[in-house]
Structures are given as structure tokens and as C-alpha cells.
Chains A and B, each alone.
Chain A
Amino acid sequence: MKLAVTPFAVDDIRALTDAGADVFIVGHGTYANRLVRSFDEADIKRACELAHSLGKELIVQVNVIVHNDLLAPLESYLAFIDSIDADGVIFGDLAVYQLARRRGMTNRLFYNPETLNTNYYDPVFWGKQGIQGLFIAKEIPLADMTRIAASSPIKLAIIGHGHLNMFHSRRPLVTNFLEYQGEDYDKYLQARNLRLVEELRDESYPIVQDEHGTHIFRSKPMASFNDLYQLTAHIDLFVIDGMFQNAAYLLDVVRDYRRLLDHEDPEQARTIALRYATTHDTGFLHKPTVYDVDKEGSR
């Protein structure tokens, strides 16, 4: 299992490599959703060269939902990614697959449509399409992951650590609301400091608005220390996402996972897990959701 991480700057790659990262995920904001930072093409190229010089891999995140007017620029962007010899491309919209196939790049693709890869057949289907791998949906519990992995002909990835998103609207919901209240909103959008609190729930959900719409995230980031040794058997790419965090945090987290991966030590894993226990949860690893309930269900 390789450890992938989302650097905040090109120069972070060196320290993160020392900390134990194998793969770096970067992207340009025009072509990607929910990046920790948008890198321009020059920086993506530099990041790729640096990663390769350190014997590491670079994946470009291209998970935008593609509307027709983005197709032409996207084509050029994929040509750029091809030209720098990036090791992977994460996509969430089938248009990226179609364009990449025409360039002969399918074997570099990872499919991450957030919610859609949920059963054993998804990697089988995508294996037939010739891609490198896919991300299992964030809502799939660990027990199901192992069953999906059993018959997967391609690499499997998960977001194993970080703030998971749970909502993406094309609508500019924050500015719409502030405009409705008669308020200036520009100052609120950049800082990524906005959050929602539901009236009956004692949790707060980060909310971000950008050029692709509005994104809402889970209240706590997830961590997988307690389950790491089960995941290593099934998952090829374990992503640590730094959304809402900083470079120092990422270094610490990468070091913690690397230590556990290099020297299997369940006791140590429990100790580390405890350190994260109050500020993090375990996502859906142990929390199956209900298939179907009565319409008048719980709130």
C-alpha cells in the first residue's frame, strides 16, 4: 500500500518524502474540486519533476464535473499532464476518461466519482475500461471493502485520512444567502473558515464555495490508524487529504502512518489512534448506512 498525500506547496514534497509519503496528489482549481491548494501548470510540472527526482510518484487530480465549455481546455490540460509524464490522473467525470482514452492515457487513470463505486462489480467494470484503479466510495464500510477487493482486477484507493466531503452543488449557495440577507460576501469566501450548524445537531460542517459551486464537508476529519493493518491487505493507494489542515499537520500524519507501515505494531497503532481520537473519527469504516427506511424516518 502506497501513502499518497496532498502537499500545500511544491517545496513540501521534499519534507513529506522524508516523512514517508510515496505519492503526491496535486491539481489545478479549474479542473479539480476540493484541492488543498490550486497549483498552476508550472508548479504542477515542478512538483512532478521533484517527485520523480526523489523516486516518488505524482498524480494530478482532475475531478471537476465537466460542463461542455470545459471540454476544449480540458483536452489541452490532459496533453499537458501527458507531457510532464505524471503517473496518474484522478477523475470523477466520464468526459475525462473519454479524452484520456484518445490520448492513450487510460492506464494512468483513477476513477473517483465520490459516491458511485460501491460494489464488487465496479472495479470489474472499470478493469474492462483499462484504467489504473478506482476509489471506493467513502460511505463503504471496511467489511464491504474487503469483499470488493477480493475480485478487483485493478488498483483500489480510498481517502483514508482527512476531511471527507458530503455534498457538492453547482449553485453558489453561500453568496446567494448572504445576498438575500443584503450582505457583502466576498470577504467570507477565501478563508475557508465558514461552517454550518444544523438546528438540532451539535456538529459543525465546513462549507466552501468556489468556481465549481458549493461543497459541504463532514464535521470531523477521519483517521484510520486502528484499521490500517486490515486496509493494507486490500488497498493499494491510501490517500491522506490535507483539506482544512496545514503542512505541519500533514507531516505529522504521514510520519505516523509510515511508522506503522514500516514496522507492524498493533499496540503502537492503538496508541496513535488514541491521540487522534478526540479530533477525528473513523468515517464510515464501521458505520453502515441504512439501505432504506420509512419515509417518516429519524431526524
Chain B
Amino acid sequence: MKKPELLAPAGDLEKLKIAFLYGADAVFIGGKQFSLRARASNFGLDEIKAGCDFAHERGKKVYVTTNIIPHNDDLDGLKAYLTALDKIGVDAIICASPIVIDTAREHTDLEIHISTQMSITNHESVSFWQERGASRIVLARELSKTEIKDLREHTDCAIEVFIHGGMCVSYSGRCTLSNNMADRDANRGGCAHSCRWNYDLYDGDEKLNHDSYFAMSAKDLQTVQHISDLIDIGVDSLKIEGRMKSIHYIATVVNIYRKLIDNICDDHDIDLPRYLLEIRKAENRLTSHGFMEGMTSIDQQLYDMRSEQATQDFIGLVLDYNPDTLEATIEQRNKFAIGDDVELFSPHMETMKFRISDIRDEQGNAMEDAPHPKQKVIVTIPFPVRRYDIIRRIKT
């Protein structure tokens, strides 16, 4: 059984490190140019270099999104940028436009991945780009497992499949709701998420929605139950979406799929309910398997709600640990207090429970609780922990 790559998103260097430490084989990041979400990017060329160095020291990979659909005015500096990425040692770029692809092929040795913005849904389209220099195709999110299997059997090109995260309800790259309704170009990083707004549905003058708005929001993708099949099919890379997500989200989701993939490939028994329970700790958005089982139904749609809140359960990130005094220095991420029952989530060991028995500030002053975001505090943890371990509240 071939073990697929686990590919994770990273919005900044810290998240990149977290993604690798918690089990990703590769991460994708956006630079400050030619990427959707470019404005939200914290990756200048120096940070991209630092990310690549961190990855390569560990035998892992970094892909950079260069996936806008550029207009004439957006093309300045393309060659220089791609050349710089090549020099840094980026492992691949993710592209959605012929000019980016051909510029990279002509002037660099960068590997080319074809973005899901191209909506590749069949093996003939895979071959088209394979024949024109692409080494991997990120498939459209509209494919069922049956379709992915059929496609896999007809191509030797590497294929990448989304397994977790937000979904475009439209075929990606073919949607201009945002362009039309908010003057913002979705294919150049301006998506206003107009598909998640509230609408009334009319038949002529008769309003058809009664107690709620017409909504077309898709639930987020979550495919814990389908990973085994995707591995059997021979998918080369399993991709988690979410460059805007928190480190807690990245750590939790990456680690769950890491363990799942390893256990499946090592032929261990899989306790699916436990994985499903764990993955809910990442956030409280409703999820579904998208198109995995075929055409979507109402179970894949979100009605009557906008579930956007992040969970409050992530209370701290471990920065340091002193094994002699059992003192951990942690960075506060959500309010917690003495007496809280918490668990230590780590890529290095099974999740361990403990109770917060004391909190001190950096000067050693005792505190009842830790109310300040990002404050560094000291707590006692009765077992060894490591930098980048995560402390989260146990729901009671």
C-alpha cells in the first residue's frame, strides 16, 4: 500500500512549523504575489526560505501557491518572482494560468502543480496538463470516490484530493458572484464569499422561502471515514484546506489525519468514532463528506446558520519546559483558570489529561486565572512536555 502525502496549509511561519511537527509531509503557503489571499500572506521571500529550510531539514516539502488568474496588469515581476522561488528551493508551485505555467517552465526548474481553480474533473484534462509539464493535478472538489478511482485508473500523473476544510459551493475558479456583487475579483484574491450571504428565492413574484433565507453555503469538508478508500484508490496527496486557520486547527486536524493515514497503512485497527470525536475539537463548524459518496444532498448544505466561531478550547501553546521543576512556560490563547481540567495534545505522545493547579506570571506572581491573550504564564505540568505542544480545555 502506497502511503499518500499529507499536505497541510500554513498562513505563516509558525503555522508551517506546527503543521510539520504535527505530522504534515508537505505544506502549501502563499507568497505576497500571484497568490489568492496574497494580502493575508505573511510569507515574504525570506520567510519562504526559512520555511523551506525548516522543511528540507526534516525531509519535507513546501509548495507555493501562484494560483491567481492574472489580468495583463498583474503580470509585472512574474518571471523574477518565479526565479526567486526556484532559487530558494521551493518544491513546487500551484498554478491556474498558462502564463504562470509557461513562464515557470521556460525560466525555472520549478515543479508545476495544477490548482483546483482549474476545476479538473476527468482524466483527459489531467493528461492535457501532464503533457504540458505539470507533475501533479489538484482535482476539483466535485468528484466522488468512484470518479476519483476511475480517473486514477486512467492516468499515471500524480493526483491530489482535498480531504478537509472549507468548500467553494461553485466549481472553483468559475465563480464571479463576488466580481458582480462586490466588484471584487474572486480569481485574484478578492472573494467576498457572496455564496454565503442570505437570499430570498422567488418564483416570479411568489417568495418561496418561508421561515429562513435561501442559503447555498456548503458545509466544510471532513473525510475521516473515506481516507482508507482514498489510500486504496492510490491518491498521491491528501490536502487539508485553510491557510487562514489557527495553529490549534492546523495541529489538531493534521495530527488526526497523520495518525489515521499511518494506522491504515500499517494495517492497525481503526477506531473511527475516536477520530471523529477528536476532529471536532478543531472547530465547531458543521462538516460533511462533500461529494465523496456522489451527488450532494441537503446533508451537505448549511441552512439557518452561520457557524463561523472558532472553538474556545485552545487555551495555551507550550513554549518551554523545565523537567526539574515541572514548570511549563505557555502562551495563553484563551482564558483559563486554576482548577480547569485540561489535556495536553502533542505530536510526540498520546493525549494526557491534567488539572491546572497553579498559574504564575513571568515574574513569578501567583494568578487565579490567565485572562490576557498571548500572555506568557507558568503552569505546573506533571509530565514532560515540549515546545509547540498544545493545551486545551476538556469539555464537561
Chain A interface residue number, banded: 35 or more
Q: Are B71 and A166 in contact (CB under 8 A)?
A: no
Q: Number of contacts between A and B (CB, 8 Å)?
A: 234
Compute how far the CA of A169 lies from the CA of B216 in the bound complex, rounded to whole angstroms: 10
Compute how far the CA of A216 lies from the CA of B216 in the bound complex, rounded to whole angstroms: 11
Q: Are A289 and B185 in contact (CB under 8 A)?
A: yes
Q: Are A66 and B121 in contact (CB under 8 A)?
A: yes
Q: Are B124 and A188 in contact (CB under 8 A)?
A: no
User: Is B396 an interface position by the 8 A CB rule?
Assistant: no
The residues in A between 183 and 216 inclusive whose CB is less than 8 angstroms from any CB of B are 183, 188, 191, 193-201, 204, 207, 214, 216
User: Cβ of B38: which chain A residues have Cβ within 8 Å of it?
Assistant: 292
User: Cβ of B187: which chain A residues have Cβ within 8 Å of it?
Assistant: 115, 118
Compute how far the CA of A204 lies from the CA of B200 in the bound complex, rounded to whole angstroms: 9
User: Cβ of B179: which chain A residues have Cβ within 8 Å of it?
Assistant: 139, 166, 284, 289
* Given A116-B97, A119-B71, A198-B199, CB of A292 within 8 Å of CB of B189: yes
Q: Are A177 and B303 in contact (CB under 8 A)?
A: yes
Contact of B98 among A95, A122, A174 (CB under 8 A): A122
User: Cβ of A179: which chain B residues have Cβ within 8 Å of it?
Assistant: 297-298
Compute how far the CA of A294 lies from the CA of B37 in the bound complex, rounded to whole angstroms: 9
In the assembled complex, the CB of B25 is this many whole angstroms from the nearest CB of chain A, namely 28
User: Is B176 an interface position by the 8 A CB rule?
Assistant: yes
* Given A115-B187, A290-B184, A290-B185, CB of A177 within 8 Å of CB of B201: yes
Q: Are A121 and B99 in contact (CB under 8 A)?
A: yes
Chain B interface residue number, banded: 35 or more
Compute how far the CA of A2 lies from the CA of B333 in the bound complex, rounded to whole angstroms: 63
Which of B165-173, B261-269, B275-283, B306-314 is the contact stretch?
B165-173
User: Is B351 an interface position by the 8 A CB rule?
Assistant: no
Q: Which residue of B lies closest to A121 (CB)?
A: B99
Residues of chain A whose beta carbon lies under 8 Å from any beta carbon of chain B: 65-71, 93-95, 97-99, 113-116, 118-122, 125-126, 137-140, 144, 147-148, 166-174, 176-181, 183, 188, 191, 193-201, 204, 207, 214, 216, 218, 284, 287, 289-295, 297-299
User: Is B305 an interface position by the 8 A CB rule?
Assistant: no
Q: Are B210 and A181 in contact (CB under 8 A)?
A: yes
* Given A144-B72, A173-B169, A297-B182, CB of A194 within 8 Å of CB of B203: yes
A-B contact pairs, 14 of them (CB 8 A): A65-B142, A66-B122, A68-B154, A114-B176, A119-B70, A147-B72, A148-B72, A167-B175, A171-B295, A180-B301, A188-B203, A218-B180, A290-B183, A297-B190
Compute how far the CA of A17 lies from the CA of B38 in the bound complex, rounded to whole angstroms: 49
Q: Are B124 and A66 in contact (CB under 8 A)?
A: yes
Compute how far the CA of A173 lies from the CA of B218 in the bound complex, rounded to whole angstroms: 10
Point out which of A181, A183, A287 has the most chain B C-beta atoms below 10 A from its C-beta. Answer: A181
Contact of B122 among A71, A114, A115, A284 (CB under 8 A): A71
Q: Are A167 and B177 in contact (CB under 8 A)?
A: yes
Q: Are B303 and A180 in contact (CB under 8 A)?
A: yes
Compute how far the CA of A169 lies from the CA of B196 in the bound complex, rounded to whole angstroms: 13
Q: Are A289 and B190 in contact (CB under 8 A)?
A: yes
Compute how far the CA of A148 lies from the CA of B311 in the bound complex, rounded to whole angstroms: 48
User: Cβ of A139: which chain B residues have Cβ within 8 Å of it?
Assistant: 176, 179, 185
User: Cβ of A119: which chain B residues have Cβ within 8 Å of it?
Assistant: 70-72, 74-75, 97, 99
* Given A68-B122, A68-B151, CB of A118 within 8 Å of CB of B171: no
* Given A99-B124, A198-B198, CB of A118 within 8 Å of CB of B69: yes
In the assembled complex, the CB of B312 is this many whole angstroms from the nearest CB of chain A, namely 22
Compute how far the CA of A134 lies from the CA of B74 in the bound complex, rounded to whole angstroms: 21
